[in-house]
Amino acid sequence: MFAVAIDGPAGAGKSSVAKAAAKELGFVYVDTGALYRTIALHLLEKGQNPGDSAAAEAALPGLDIRLAYAPEGQKVFCNGEDVTGRIRTPEVSMGASAVAAVPAVRVFLLGLQRGLAKEHNVLMDGRDIGTVVLPHAPLKVFLTASPEERARRRVRQMEEGGQAADFAAILQDIRQRDFQDSTRETAPLKPAADSVLLDTSGISFQESVEKLVSLVRARMGQEQENG
């Protein structure tokens, strides 16, 4: 199996770029952020604070989180219920960042993530895939864009969906999320020492996908040559 570890900050386009690249390559795309979002959603719906490490840890034994793959993409199930459509709100996003700082949560999800990489050729994206989850992946990519670029993309996305968007507020949220993710004690967001930087600022979505596909094909070729 061939694994590609993709890390990077929130809103950099990791998910959409990795998903499109996986489709072109015939790989399985794994959005690990959905796992953290699912735990955050579970806590929020119970009226608990995702940043409360004791509450998060106590909830883990009662959680059965599974990923399923359909032609339209990854689906997430929590205790048998499809929660795919409920984990993309701003509240859940901030909750996911908070719950991801809980060491027990990261350990809980590690086995699930590594298991997927043993079963399939994967493009797996998250915050610590190359540094913690798949440290021996043959290709690690740090996919990023400037905070301003990420805020502009989010505004466009919201406006296209018919939602009002405040650029300044979105930019502030992105900077806050970056700070939380890069300064947390457990598995902070940082590029792996041997990762390839892919900055998508100022280039189109399709160009980003093509660059990632080229990186994967080149590395797979090198691996085959090396036996």
The pLDDT tens digits of the residues spanning 34-45 come to 999 999 999 999
Q: Which pTM does this prediction carry?
A: 0.85
Residue 185 confidence (pLDDT) above 90: no
Residue 102 confidence (pLDDT) above 80: yes
Measure CA of the first residue to CA of the last residue in the chain; give whole Å: 14
pLDDT at 161: 86
pLDDT at 225: 86
Q: What is the mean pLDDT of the chain?
A: 93
Residue 72 confidence (pLDDT) above 80: no
pLDDT at 90: 86
Beta pairing partners, 75: 68
pLDDT at 166: 94
Angle value at C-alpha 68, between 181 and 204, nearest 5 degrees: 55
- Which of 106, 105, 102, 132 minimizes the C-alpha distance to 117? 132
| pLDDT band with cut points at 50, 70 and 90 for residue 181 | confident
Q: Comparing 137 with 101, which gets the higher pLDDT?
A: 137
| pLDDT band with cut points at 50, 70 and 90 for residue 131 | very high
Average pLDDT over residues 165-194: 91
Can you tell me which residue has the tokens 């794994």?
A: 30
The single-letter code of the amino acid at 2 is F
3-state secondary structure of 126: strand
pLDDT at 117: 95
3-state secondary structure of 155: helix
For residue 180, give every residue at least 6 positions away whose Cβ sits within 8 Å of its Cβ, in sequence order, or none: 97, 98, 101
For residue 172, give every residue at least 6 positions away whose Cβ sits within 8 Å of its Cβ, in sequence order, or none: none
Domains of the chain: 1-27+121-227 (3.40.50.300), 33-120 (3.40.50.300)
